[in-house]
Amino acid sequence: MERKIIQTSDGSSSVYLPEWDENYHSKHGAIQEAYHVFIKSGLDLFNEGSKLHILEMGFGTGLNCMITYLEAKKRDLTIDYLGLEGYPLETKLIFELNHLEQLKALKESEAYQIIQTSDWNEPAGIGPNFKLIKREIMFEDYQDDDFADLIYFDAFGARVQPELWTETIFKKMYDALKDKGIIVTYAAKGSVRRAMQAVGFKVERLPGPPGKREMLRGTKQLDTAL
């Protein structure tokens, strides 16, 4: 499938798929979206010095992972990060993106290199407190129970991949979370919210990132699960 690099409104670049008319990030700002959805609405719920497991559904360009690494250093977090991706991007294309420059993180180029070039399905250490495993796997084939404290659900939109926004997939996400675990996503469609609620999540509507009115956050609560 053809992939093109585009510039989003905050100056950060993204990847565009002409065949699907779909971007890897919001056209209103790739970095702004990542910080708003996954950091402000997800990682910020955990105290400084916490140890946590993060699961990312849709590793994509690695932007969310890199931002999480930068935030972990600031907050003294210890993180085990598992990123799932069914269709990994070519490393050459990723290095044409301007994320490191836009994040003002050029001094972290070694960490960025590890994130992008570490072998799939093999653990990689990025500093003493950040462990990464990238798994090349389709979402429907993933299964893990009581693993994650926080899930970044960053799949392509339901318009182009509706099969990733079903009760079946969200049940896998519910099972993967520990009790009181959190899932955050940029999506806000009523069908997505209902699918999350149907498998047991307590779902909140939150203000969305630039260009979106709302987004969703779900919490696993075993005492109230359906």
pLDDT, tens only, 133-153: 999 999 999 999 999 999 999
189 in any annotated domain: yes
19 in any annotated domain: no
* pLDDT, tens digit, 9 for 90 and up, residues 75-84: 999 999 999 9
Confidence of residue 34 (pLDDT cuts 50, 70, 90): very high
Give CA separation, 120 vs 9, 114, 123, 157, in Å.
31, 11, 8, 24
3 state SS of 75: helix
The DSSP output letter for 86 is S
Confidence of residue 1 (pLDDT cuts 50, 70, 90): confident
Q: In what order do the strands lie in the sheet with 123-125?
A: 123-125, 130-136, 78-85, 51-57, 148-153, 177-185, 214-220, 201-207
- pLDDT of the residue at 8: 96
3 state SS of 178: strand
Does residue 221 have a pLDDT over 80? Answer: yes
Q: Identify the CA nearest to 195 among candidates 206, 209, 207, 183.
A: 183
Instruction: Give the β-pairing of 148-153 and 51-57.
Output: parallel
* pLDDT, tens digit, 9 for 90 and up, residues 147-189: 999 999 999 999 999 999 999 999 999 999 999 999 999 999 9
Residue 62 to residue 31: CA distance in whole angstroms: 12
112 in any annotated domain: yes
Query: Residue 93: phi, psi to the nearest 5?
Result: -65, -45
**CATH code of the domain containing 213:** 3.40.50.150
- pLDDT of the residue at 65: 98
Q: Identify the CA nearest to 147 among candidates 179, 178, 184.
A: 178
The pTM of the full predicted model, rounded to 2 decimals, is 0.96
141 in any annotated domain: yes
Percent over 90 (pLDDT), the chain: 96
User: What is the domain count for the chain?
Assistant: 1
Give CA separation, 57 vs 48, 156, 225, in Å.
24, 10, 22
Find the mean pLDDT for residues 24-43.
Answer: 97
CB 216 within 8 A of CB 184: yes
109 in any annotated domain: yes
Q: Identify the CA nearest to 38 among candidates 58, 10, 12, 8.
A: 58
13 in any annotated domain: no
The domain of 191 spans 29-224
Which amino acid appears at position 162 of this protein? P
**Residue 108 is encoded by which pair of tokens?**
């972290």
10 in any annotated domain: no
Q: 47 forms bridges with which residues in the sheet?
A: none
Does residue 225 have a pLDDT over 50? Answer: no
- pLDDT of the residue at 162: 95
186 in any annotated domain: yes
Find the mean pLDDT for residues 203-221.
Answer: 96
**Residue 149 is encoded by which pair of tokens?**
């404290």
